[in-house]
Structure 1
Amino acid sequence: MTAPGTTYRIGGELDVRRLGFGAMHLRPETAENRTRCVAVARRAVELGVTLIDTAHLYGWGANEDLLAEALHPYPADLVLATKVGIRHTTTGEGWRHAGDPADLRAQVDEALLRLRLDHIDLLQLHRLDPDVPLPDQLGALRDLRAEGKIRHIGLSEVTVDELAAARAVVDIASVQNRYNILDREHEPVLTACEEARIAFLPWRPAAAGQSGGRSADIAAIAKELDATPTQVALAWLLAHSPVIVPIPGTGSVAHLEENVAADAVRLTREQYERLNG
């Protein structure tokens, strides 16, 4: 168990609060939804969130447009992280890998326009493209970094071996894999990130809000701490590793406030060990 710090320095220079915000659930399909989503994004910043994670995939650019509408001009301490490497299709699953260097370059330029930025602090490859050599994909991002369009490069949904191969091409500042107290499949990747001092941004960090219903220990400890099961699940992440930067997402101001308050929840060692088991 580690003593939870309140901030983390991604890539050695991007200081962020360790509880970030995942914007995936901000879906502005209607005017009413758009108003609500703008309010959630603005409330996140009011509550001191300094890392917001988005992606081209989230509404095929609509999520990035929304964040710019809600928050631009951005606070000086706000880090916007976005993801590229996936394109929309009208067949199959509705998306395809898009790791060709020319396509990645185009996606970054599109993201810069939508977010109204001259550079992206943290640009993450949403998925590795199995049809494009890894050095080509990461080499394109490395070139964009050299041009000043990207400050730091991250990966999403990778294995330990893929992370090692990527690091042989370019410095990696973050990894975003699915991980939570009830789903620790990627524990080896987390360990590799700890050893290399790479930020680990777990998506679905609160087990989709189901942690209390699926674990009697989580529910019991939540009662002991006068907290919610979601807050306990997030507090466990913060205590579990100093490189973990959870990015819980929601489309509700109330749930946002619940999530952000989790960094004030302190587990005892006995509670942590119960949860760890």
Structure 2
Amino acid sequence: MNTTTTFRIGGDLEVRRLGFGAMRLPTEPADERAASVALLRRAVELGVTLVDTAHLYGWGANEELLAEALHPYPADLLVTTKVGVRQPAPGEWTYDARPASLRSQVDEALRRLRVERVELLQLHRIDPDTPLADQLGALGDLRSEGKVGRIGLSEVTVAELDEARSVVDIASVQNRYNLLDREHEPVLRACEAAGIAFLPWRPVAPGAADEHPVIRSVASELDATPTQIALAWLLARSPVMLPIPGTGSARHLEENVAAADLRLPREQYARLDGLLSEG
């Protein structure tokens, strides 16, 4: 089991391993936006040093929200964003990681986040209609120009990760993963072997953690909530694991952050670890 509290993304960019995903934060109306701003500031007060956003989240509105709340950014805060999709019509999205599109989206992200460089930029999805070497080559060019610090991927297989690493250095992978959904276990292990940060999206299975009897039992034994148990298990699972739970609730934010200090005894960890092999 892992007990480290920080990780160096790309070998040099140190963050606390429990971050915050901003996707669910509303940007309007005004009162809800104000609450989102307050929540982001509270996250930083609580010691969060990794905040995840994306071009897809509100088509830039989420990035602008982060800048409003947190700019000028604390020196130890990493705001990471994602590019590679576009909006063909209201309510729709599609892949678009053509080099020109990526360059445009990065420039937009820099403007919205009010920075000159995105320290960690992730390709939101691999575009099946554009050669991967062209997609990553464009991001590599942007890194050479100083607009991007490190490059990450999202929703990839081990084979895609290997192919990507033959083109550019990969600092992070963001795949779906949680206590009850370990489809991407091989990708996690590949990241661990290579020292690549693994940012699980949907780090807590919605509703399922609260309802599962084993998770509820362990939570009761440790005087914690099922969500805290699910997050603590992720942190114990691998030293490269950087969960980014999101919430619009200040109470849930504080609950999530507190999970970073929760240590699972070996017996409870083993029970949780074996959940998917039951029956």
Q: Which TM-score tier does this pair reach, normalised by the shorter chain?
A: over 0.9
Partner of 1:20: 19
Check conservation: 1:209, 1:230, Cα contact below 8 A.
Answer: no
- 1:195 pairs with 182, 193, 202, which one? 193
Indicate the residue corresponding to 2:50 in structure 1.
51
**2:110 alignment partner AA:** L
In the alignment, the residues of structure 2 paired with residue 210 and residue 258 of structure 1 have an alpha-carbon distance, to the nearest angstrom, of 17
One-letter amino acid matched to 2:58 = G
Give the secondary structure class of the aligned counterpart of 2:239.
coil
1:261 aligns with 2:258: yes
- Pick closer, same or farther for the CA change 1:231–1:18 going to 2, 3 Å: same
Q: Which residue identity lines up with residue 150 of structure 1 in the other structure? A: V
Structure 1 counterpart SS, 2:64: helix
Shift of 1:264: 1.1
C-alpha displacement at 1:209, in angstroms? 4.6
The structural deviation recorded for 1:3 is: 3.0
For structure 2, list consecutive stretches of 5 or more residues without a partner in the other structure.
Answer: 275-279
Please tell me whether residue 168 in structure 1 is matched to residue 166 in structure 2: yes
Of 255, 269, 274, which aligns to 2:271? 274
Distance 2:28 2:180 in 1: 32
Number of paired residues?
274
1:218 to 2:215 alignment:
yes
| CA–CA distance in structure 2, aligned partners of residues 209 and 248 of structure 1 | 14
Q: Quick one: percent identity of the two aligned structures?
A: 69
User: Mind listing any 5+ residue stretches in structure 1 that lack a counterpart?
Assistant: none
Distance 2:44 2:208 in 1: 26
What pairs with 1:147-162 in structure 2 (closer than 5 Å)? 147-162=145-160
Separation in structure 1 between the aligned mates of residue 156 and residue 103 of structure 2, nearest angstrom: 21
Q: Which position in structure 2 is the counterpart of 1:66?
A: 65
Cα RMSD (Å): 0.9
**TM-superposed deviation, 1:210:** 3.1
Helix, strand or coil at the partner of 2:23 = helix
User: Quick one: distance in 2 between partners of 1:226 and 1:269?
Assistant: 16
State the TM-score, normalizing by the size of structure 1: 0.97
Contact 1:173/1:198 (CA < 8 Å) preserved in 2?
yes
1:258 is matched by which residue type in structure 2?
A: E
| Cα distance in 1, alignment partners of residues 24 and 135 from structure 2 | 28
In the TM superposition, residue 208 of structure 1 has moved relative to its aligned partner by 2.4
TM-score, length basis structure 2: 0.97
Deviation sequence 1:165-224 (CA, Å, 0-9, x none): 0000000000000000000000000010011110000001011253121x2110000000
Alignment partner of 1:154: what SS?
strand
- Quote the residue 2:277 is aligned against: none
